[in-house]
Structure 1
């Protein structure tokens, strides 16, 4: 099982989105995030992913929502 985190960066109520350009797919806008490493907390993964993906350093560690998403079997 892979556990992932998503990071929302907002300014004036507007989220920062990045453009994903995968080969063979149309560009899309998305939140930043990534996989949680073995023995890494969700909070630590979030703080690591943000600068890796955006170059920004977080000044607030507020978790506004957490939850679990399920995927169909076989994905």
Structure 2
């Protein structure tokens, strides 16, 4: 199990949390997504390390910006 925390910019409400959770959670191998709205941190647990480009694409698809991993 691998846990990685990402910084996401632009989330302001519960809908934002749901959108990011759904898109990142759809990446193959992702087991769990936890979003802390106040800090903008998204913690992802996965079977193996995730491709950063896949995480960035999922966050972009949700309408937000991945700042840092």
Structure having the higher strand fraction is: 2
**Highest relative contact order (Cα 8 Å, sep 6+), 1 or 2?**
2
Q: TM-score, normalised by structure 1?
A: 0.32
Structure having the higher helix fraction is: 2
Q: TM-score, normalised by structure 2?
A: 0.33
